[in-house]
Structure 1
Amino acid sequence: MQKKPVITKSKLSLLLMALPFIVLVFLFNYLPLFGWVYVFFDYKPGIPLSQTPFVGLKFFELTLNDGGELLNVLKNTLAMSFLGLLTSPLPLIFAILLSEVKNKTFQKIVQTTTTLPNFISWFIVFSLFFSVFSVEGLFNTLLIKLHIISEPTNILGNGEAVWYVQTAVAVWKGLGWGAIIYLASIAGIDQELFDAAKVDGAGRFQTIMNVTVPGLMPTYIVLLLLSISNMLSNGFDQYFVFHNPLVAEKIEVLDYYVYRIGIATNDYAYATAIGMSKTVISVILLFTVNFISKRVRGQSIV
């Protein structure tokens, strides 16, 4: 006869400690889902939902029949996500290089310095990049004084380079924070494997390629698959603060488009339809990559 699980005092304490975070997740991630009901009504602010005309799937049909604007937004979203996937190995590489530093004091200084940008507000990040890379910023002023260029370059207003600029900004902000996960994974690799590599005469590079990298691959693949499932969610803050008329066509991603349609033009129902569609597609992508991972690697991420 199977024994019933016993809730000990320590387990109860852990449950009570986690309870506030469970409540926060419910309030901010699940409770807003009740707002999806607006997608089925021609909602106007100030009019009770009971007095609002029911339109069924009208706004979902509009998303399918939307012209070039939504297609352009999707192109920007997928381009940014693809560049993010291309740069996803950088935190792994940085973590490996950082773990190879023998001077622990220097290692901690570098780790702290590179992690701090993650906690800086995007408004402050924009102010920093504007002061450095604007037409009259430090970068252009220095190049002109060194006679490298004769006319200033508007990097933040270059529509052709905006995808790469925003990718670089995102990498700068999240590199140190992303490396923390891989540093924890490196610490979890069996030390005997490193000792065995030294006994076999492996150099530092050979040890990295044959011990460290294979030990980090499971973590990297899980994060990569999660990133693929989240390709339609680039975030909002970064593109909101860096948005300007010169790059508007290339910087507008799906999250910013939903904000502009819903908040700026008060078309809440249509914005909800787009956001709801994005969520459903993201869930489908998540279970798809989970299925592929289970078939290829024999392990699932969900």
Structure 2
Amino acid sequence: MRAYADAQMPGKPTQTRGRSWKRLRQQKWLWLMILPAFICTLLFSYGPMFGLYMAFINYQPGGASFFGSFFHSDFVGLQWFEYFLNNGDFRIILRNTLAQSLLSLLLGFPAPIILALAINEVRQRAFKRVVQTVSYLPHFISWVIAANIIVTLLASDGLLNKVLVLLHVTNEPIAFFQNGHYFWWIIASSNTWKDMGFNAIMYLAAIASINPELYEAGRVDGGSRWRLMLHITLPSLRPTIVILMILAVGGVLNAGFDQQYLLQNDTILQYSDVIDTYTYRYGLQNSMFSYGAAVGLFKSVVAFMLVLMVNNIAKRVNDQSLF
């Protein structure tokens, strides 16, 4: 039997390859449909990655072509990374980035879950559609418009200050954009307001896929709507929550650029400057291209490590993971 099995072993890879080519020929039109997206991914996602080499050289634009200046620049290794880590700005930038990202995560992650659960409990379909449409509409407003709304609302003569003075919460208007500690909460609240409704769509889709027989069995056992939500809906959302949590933690250093750039000012720069705005200011405005590339690469590497770490923890603790 062993001799027979050994004799048959060399033929197995050939048979497997034959089945693979046969399946490939059968699905050739599907592969052709995927081909444009595959080519775009190579060109626009993987192709530009050769530019990461800029973080390890001292690139200075010269009279020659871009590639001539790029490949003939002096190789400096990890010099730009050491300069960033030993620079006095590193602690301030990292503090602001983590503070704004963690506050946005603290407010913004549970908000769409709560909103999705609340919308799911609404029984009037017309009202449910109106609430859902109004909630995710801010996601499609550009940050230029959103920033103007926020600045007008929080101005010294804005609506919020008028309400606070009217209710005697404060005796005089609060200068929200003159105090850096307020800025962190402004960014976190605006991010939550803008993305809460859109992120709730994913949870609503997960809720719609729950087997209705589970709710029927819960009602037969005398479960109230609160208990059905607590013991059926939330446990069914666990895989979606875990995956989105992994992605959210991976982007903890991605505090954003548009909102910070549009809402910050020189008075609160010590509290509003994050990695993205810092990279833009030094990399483009000050023409320190290699330094900006090094800071951006540092952020990407840390984010990748965070994704791997949180994914591993989720796999061990909850048996749910992204990969």
- TM score, norm. by length of structure 1: 0.91
Matched, 1:120 2:136: no
Q: Map residues 212-223 of structure 1 onto 2, 5 A cutoff.
A: 212-223=233-244
- Aligned counterparts of 1:16 and 1:247: Cα–Cα separation in 2: 53
Equivalenced residue count is: 300
The residue that corresponds to 1:132 in the other structure is 153
- Aligned counterparts of 2:174 and 2:203: Cα–Cα separation in 1: 37
The one-character-per-residue Cα deviations of 1:224-280 (angstroms, maximum 9, x if unpaired) are 112112211122111111111222111111111111110121111111111111111
Cα pair distance change 1:233/1:114, threshold 3 Å: same
The residue that corresponds to 2:103 in the other structure is 83
Structure 1 residue ranges (4+ consecutive) displaced by more than 6 angstroms after TM superposition: none
Between 36-45 and 264-273, the greater mean CA deviation after superposition:
36-45
Displacement, 1:153? 1.7
Displacement, 1:22? 3.9
Cα pair distance change 1:110/1:18, threshold 3 Å: farther
The one-character-per-residue Cα deviations of 1:197-232 (angstroms, maximum 9, x if unpaired) are 011010000000000010111110111112112211
- Aligned counterparts of 1:75 and 1:207: Cα–Cα separation in 2: 41
Cα pair distance change 1:6/1:239, threshold 3 Å: same
The residue that corresponds to 2:288 in the other structure is 267
Cα pair distance change 1:16/1:94, threshold 3 Å: farther
SS in 2 for 1:247: helix
Matched, 1:246 2:267: yes
The residue that corresponds to 1:192 in the other structure is 213
- Aligned counterparts of 1:186 and 1:273: Cα–Cα separation in 2: 42
Q: 1:276 aligns with which of 293, 297, 308?
A: 297
Q: 2:246 aligns with which of 208, 225, 228?
A: 225
The residue that corresponds to 1:103 in the other structure is 124
The residue that corresponds to 2:322 in the other structure is 301
Cα pair distance change 1:158/1:18, threshold 3 Å: farther
Listed as ranges, the gaps of 5+ residues in structure 2 are 1-14, 64-68
- Aligned counterparts of 1:221 and 1:300: Cα–Cα separation in 2: 7
Cα pair distance change 1:15/1:132, threshold 3 Å: farther
Matched, 1:204 2:225: yes
- Aligned counterparts of 2:145 and 2:37: Cα–Cα separation in 1: 28
- Aligned counterparts of 2:184 and 2:241: Cα–Cα separation in 1: 24
Matched, 1:70 2:90: yes
The residue that corresponds to 1:6 in the other structure is 23
On the 8 A contact 1:85/1:224 being kept in 2, the answer is: no
The residue that corresponds to 2:308 in the other structure is 287
- TM score, norm. by length of structure 2: 0.85
Matched, 1:30 2:46: yes
Cα pair distance change 1:280/1:142, threshold 3 Å: closer
- Aligned counterparts of 1:280 and 1:209: Cα–Cα separation in 2: 38
Cα pair distance change 1:240/1:152, threshold 3 Å: same
The one-character-per-residue Cα deviations of 1:66-99 (angstroms, maximum 9, x if unpaired) are 22x1111101111122213322111111100001
- Aligned counterparts of 1:111 and 1:82: Cα–Cα separation in 2: 26
Aligned letter for 1:276? L
The structure carrying a bigger helix percent of its residues is 2
Q: Give me the CA root mean square deviation.
A: 2.2
On the 8 A contact 2:239/2:320 being kept in 1, the answer is: no
Aligned letter for 1:121? S
Displacement, 1:64? 2.6
Displacement, 1:8? 7.2
